[in-house]
Amino acid sequence: MKIINNPKKKPKHLNNCTTQVQIIDKLLNGTGYNKYRIPAENGVDVGIEFWIQAITEINEITNDFEMDIYINEMWLDPSLNFEHMSPCKQNLTLSHQVLEKLWSPNSCFINSKVAQIHNSPFQNIFLMLYPNGTLWVNYRVRIKGPCAMDL
């Protein structure tokens, strides 16, 4: 009998690699990472894009609107670089709980009445960390804002 696939035996390229859990533990617990410190002395360039999923309400009485949007934010945090750790995966997909432990930009919608991340049944946040320390965060957000109408 010939065994084709032995689940206990790792492929050769994974023998000496560092797992996602080990990488996050080393980055956040072993290096003195501080989420309150801006990643670069001269500021951080943050790429932001958003697209509208749906305009769910326009109210002529209160002069406001409500919409669901997706927001992408991308920035480089050099202290999260893990290229030197021989990662098992090229990019790390992380939960929203990890985002709470990281520095993130304070993006806002000026004059918005309400802005909240969807919770259905958990926060709609996608977080990916690239080996060079680039973070990509995607949120699904509901926004209520003013809409002056001249009817």
> What is the reported pTM?
0.81
Q: What is the dihedral of CA 31, 34, 37, 39, to 10 degrees?
A: 50
**CATH no. for 12-146:** 2.70.170.10
User: What's the rounded Cα separation, in Å, for the pair 82 and 18?
Assistant: 10
Summarised one tens digit per residue, pLDDT across range 8-60 is 555 555 568 999 999 999 999 877 899 999 999 899 999 999 999 999 999 99
Ranges of each domain in the chain = 12-146
Phi, psi dihedral angles at 80 (to 5 degrees):
-105, 15
Phi, psi dihedral angles at 88 (to 5 degrees):
-70, -30
Summarised one tens digit per residue, pLDDT across range 104-144 is 999 888 888 998 888 878 788 999 999 999 999 999 999 99
Beta-carbon-side half-sphere exposure of residue 36 (alpha carbons within 13 Å): 0
